[in-house]
Amino acid sequence: MYFVGSIISLILITLCGLFLVFANYSTRHKFLSQWAIFCIWWLKITLNITTNIIGQENVNKSPCVIISNHQSTWETLAFQTIFPAHTWVLKKELLWLPIFGWSLALLKPIIINRGDKLKAIKKVIKQGTDRLNKGISIVIFPEGTRQPYKQIGEYQNGGSAIAKKSGFKIVPVFHNAGHLWPKGGFVKKPGVITVVIGEPISDLNLSASEITEKIRNWTLEQENLFNN
């Protein structure tokens, strides 16, 4: 029932979205966020999956670099409802997905080819700085791909490098969506997904790798706190 409602709503949003090609970014984001709000509400109604947000006061109204662990499709929907105007760092293959990928393309994502890491990091820094200067936050999953529940993968330095280059703050985020909506899992379980939004990091005097390590250690602390 959840998938039926989501797919029907996404098709309708996409048909309407044909007109969004000519709209500015703010209009596109607001419009697509309504679909995400519906999906999160629909999860609650049909599957009894709810969200507990800790640290809501740390949501930055000004542009920032949002660095989060990655476990599920859930966060790509939920973040649209939690954070102000933002876009994503994505692997190019995601844009090939019918409807969903096309919708992502409307949000000016930073598309990377993971086969060429050096070129990818340069592109992320350049385009990420450009988006931030235009008032658009950047969401990046430094693990690069979804991880199994209770696992935190190695963090890449892209998000920290963007912040150092641009001077914008970093907002670290942890969630445990994988225990209800796992990677590659069709069946979802009822329950509460916890999202922890950490205090913004504005001291960028450390190296990108040191900042990344600091964020990953914070994420591991949240993992131990909420998943044990």
95 is a domain residue: yes
Angle, helices 25-47/2-17, rounded to nearest 10 degrees: 170
Residue 6 belongs to some domain of the structure: no
Q: What is the pTM of this model?
A: 0.88
pLDDT digits (tens, 9 = 90+) for 169-195: 999 999 999 999 988 777 889 999 999
Whether 124 is covered by a domain: the verdict is: yes
Q: Is residue 59 part of a domain?
A: yes
In a domain, 212, yes or no: yes
| pLDDT for position 206 | 93
Q: What is the domain extent for residue 101?
A: 50-226
In a domain, 131, yes or no: yes
Q: Does 29 reside within a domain?
A: no
The answer to whether position 114 is within a domain reads yes
**CATH number, domain at 96?**
3.40.1130.10
The order of strands in the sheet holding 86-91 is 49-54, 191-197, 170-175, 65-68, 137-140, 86-91, 110-112
Domain count, the chain: 1
